[in-house]
Amino acid sequence: MADGPKAAVSQTIQEIPQAVIKPVTDQVGQAVEQGLNSIMGTAPKPLDPADQAKKEQENQVKIANIKNYLENLSALDRASRAKAQQEKEQAEQVKAQETHQKKQKVEFEEQKKSESIAVQQAKVKTEAKAGQGAGG
């Protein structure tokens, strides 16, 4: 089960160039081109409707890829946080159980000690009574 999140993270990391870096570099390239065109005084060629529709479709695919990437990343984050919380709770339970066992052991030892003292006191009283009867 530990391989699941790791594999998903690895796959997500491999998808970063497609989903994020390539669109950003495309946009940087477009910005540079627009800057050069404005400096040179040349206007970009207007796109024909078919090219414009194709470009819009490509943009929609890019947006969908980025949204998918972010959703996957968010899901991995939630899963990682849930697992960490579960491990924390388990550790706390183990610690509480160990503390409880130590406390029970101490109580048992104290009870055993007090019973031993009570037995010794009873023995002393019995010997004292036996000594009084024999001496008198």
Nearest to 15 by CA among 54, 66, 56: 66
Kindly report, residue by residue over 54-109, the tens digit of the pLDDT.
989 999 999 999 999 999 999 999 999 999 999 999 999 999 999 999 999 999 99
Nearest to 23 by CA among 72, 49, 61: 61
- Mean pLDDT for the stretch of residues 36-52: 74
Residue showing tokens 């006191």: 121
pLDDT band (50, 70, 90) for residue 136? very low
Instruction: Report which of residues 118 and 20 the model is more confident about.
Output: 118
Q: To 10 degrees, what angle do helices 49-135 and 3-16 make? A: 150
pTM score > 0.85 for this model? no
DSSP string, 6-20: HHHHHHHHHHHIIII
